[in-house]
Amino acid sequence: MKITETAQKKHRDFDERVIDLVSQIPYGRVTTYGHIAAALGARKSSRMVGYALNNVKNRDYIPCHRVINRNGELSGKLHFATPTLMREMLEAENIEFTGDAVNLAKHLWIPEIQ
C-alpha cells in the first residue's frame, strides 16, 4: 500500500507538533501520552505520540523522558540507552516515585489544548 504525499505530510506535521509540545514540559514535571494527544486534538492518538517520540534522534534537546503512561509508569524506558536512564533523568529533576510510578499528584503537567 502506497502512502500518499498528503498523508505523509499530515504525519510529519503531527510529529512536529508532538515534539513542540514535549519541548514545553517544565523541568521537574511530567505528562502523559494521552494528555499530549488530547492537547493536539487527537485524543485517541496516544500511541501515535509514542511513535513520534521514538523517532526523536537527539534527545539532548527534547525532554522525551518527561512523557510517561497514564499510570505514571515509564513505558518508554526501553527506548533509552539503558533501561534505567529514563528514571535516572527524572530523579535528577527531583521527580518522586512510588514504587515504579511517578507521583502524578505532585508532578503531572497537563498541556493546554493547542
Question: Which residues are tagged catalytic?
Answer: 64
89-96: Cβ within 8 A, 24+ apart: 89/65, 90/30, 90/65, 90/66, 93/27, 93/28, 94/28, 95/28, 95/29, 95/30
Element of type H or E holding 70: none
Roughly how many angstroms between the first and final C-alpha of the chain, as a whole number? Answer: 32
How far is residue 103's CA from residue 95's CA, in Å, rounded to a whole number?
8
Which set of grid coordinates corresponds to residue 110?
497537563
